[in-house]
Amino acid sequence: MEKIILTGDRPTGKLHLGHYVGSLKRRVELQNSGEYDKIYIMIADAQALTDNFDDPDKIRDNIIEVALDYLSVGLDPAKSNLFIQSAVPELTELTFYYMNMVTVARLERNPTIKTEIQLRNFEVGIPVGFFTYPISQTSDITAFKATVVPVGEDQLPMLEQAREIVRKFNATYNCDVLVEPKAMIPENAICCRLPGTDGTAKMSKSLGNCIYLSDSEEEVNRKVMTMFTDPNHIQISDPGKVEGNTVFTYLDAFSTDSDFAEFLPDYKNLDELKDHYRRGGLGDVKIKKFLQKVLNRELAPIRERRAVFEKDIPAVYEILKKGTDAARATAAVTLAEVKEAMRINYFEDDELIRSQQARFNA
């Protein structure tokens, strides 16, 4: 069986370091591993509209931001098919048929939907489109017969729902048209949840605690200087805490031994730096300056690539257009198979007219 990846992001904002460690970096590695037959990366604008229907301009503007972020981290359109969800109408049609295989109660039990309803104050009235987005996400995945779906942990309920729909479809129509996907989640805890610069649980635009992939060197430096550390580490000589200290969490996620050799040769590695911080005698400014260099080392090539693509925005849209055309062609094949399995492919079914005539002659 072919190994096929599909994943995507809602274009509600520019992508940040949390996205980078949580998914983008891995996607580029998967892309370059050569182990996958096909890779689809989708900009999920239709899904983003399920809770932003009154602000389509936000989605419209962020499509190009996300595309630039993708290209600048090294997703290569020659290897990864980048496309826009709403421009593949076959996905919507699949969703309409899958809806019949899911109960309202089942959607209500979806833990991700539950928390998102609370977050968005939808308790008073849940938009139907939003409520059913797990079904639409199943279409995204199954249209491409994806076997592997790299996502954050919060998406596991979506994958479970997708697997259920696949099983139900194949059993109901006695076929093996749809493929059960597997989730691929980040390997370590920091990658699952990089805290914001203020030390709160997660980077989020509304909290203003993000470092964006598109931030300049100066912006990154400024944001690092405001980062939350250990509030009880007041004098340099005080012993400091490493756990829950955001600067160290970021160093855990990004620093390498060669960063120490290059930028902070007094220490061999992060363990030595942590030991010194715990003992006391190491100031926050020194570790922050080091983190600035580490982050900018990681971000410099990303910024360089972004600058090149920003100069030719029409070419970026052309990449999306090409990817979308290819995605549509694939989704159309699956949709045709789905309709054949459901026996609603009336005009492609040569037997149909003859057998209906026979029924009326009888």
Minimum distance of ligand TRP from residue 46's CB (angstroms):
9
> Pick from 80, 137, 147, 255: which binds ligand TRP (CB under 6 A)?
137
Site string for ligand TRP, 296-335 (x = CB under 6 A): ----------------------------------------
Shortest CB 39 distance to ligand TRP, Å: 12
Stretch that binds ligand TRP, among 91-99, 134-142, 231-239, 276-284 (CB under 6 A): 134-142
Q: Considering beta carbons, is residue 9 or 298 the nearer one to ligand TRP?
A: 9
User: Using the rule CB under 6 A, which residue among 4, 10, 209, 260 binds ligand TRP?
Assistant: 10
Could you tell me the smallest distance in angstroms from the CB atom of residue 308 to ligand TRP? 27
**Residue pair 234/57 in contact by the 8 Å Cβ criterion:** no
Query: Least Å distance between CB 44 and ligand TRP?
Result: 4
- Distance between CA atoms of residues 173 and 227, nearest Å: 56
Q: Distance (Å, rounded) from C-alpha 275 to C-alpha 272?
A: 5
User: Which amino acid, 83?
Assistant: F
Q: State yes or no: residue 149 binds ligand TRP (CB under 6 A).
A: yes
Regarding 7 and contact with ligand TRP (CB under 6 A), the answer is yes
Beta bridge partners of 39: 5
**Count, residues near ligand TRP per rule CB under 6 A:** 13
Instruction: Count Cβ atoms below 10 Å from residue 289 Cβ, excluding itself.
Output: 16
**Residue with the closest Cβ to ligand TRP?**
44
Q: Which of 21, 84, 148, 151 binds ligand TRP (CB under 6 A)?
A: 151
Per DSSP, the residues of 261-281 read: HHH-TT-SSHHHHHHHHHHS-
> Using CB under 6 A as the criterion, what x/- string covers residues 78-117 for binding ligand TRP?
----------------------------------------
Of 209, 199, 215, 204, nearest to 296 (Cα)? Answer: 215
Site string for ligand TRP, 16-55 (x = CB under 6 A): ----------------------------x--x--------
Residue 44 φ then ψ, to 5°: -85, 70
Closer residue to ligand TRP (CB): 163 or 274: 163
For residue 336, what are the contacts with CB-CB under 8 A and spacing of at least 6? 345, 348
Helix (H, G, I), strand (E, B) or coil at 43: strand
Between 38 and 223, whose beta carbon lies closer to ligand TRP? 38
59 binds ligand TRP (CB under 6 A): no
b/e per residue, 16-55, with b = 16+ CB within 10 A? Answer: bbbbbbbbbbbbbebbeeeebebbbbbbbbbbbbbbbeee
In 3D space, the residue among 190, 209, 223 whose CA is nearest the CA of residue 20 turns out to be 190
Give the integer Cα–Cα distance in Å for 232 and 238.
Answer: 8
Helix (H) or strand (E) holding 42: strand 38-43
- Binding positions for ligand TRP, rule: CB under 6 A: 6-10, 44, 47, 137, 140-141, 149, 151, 155
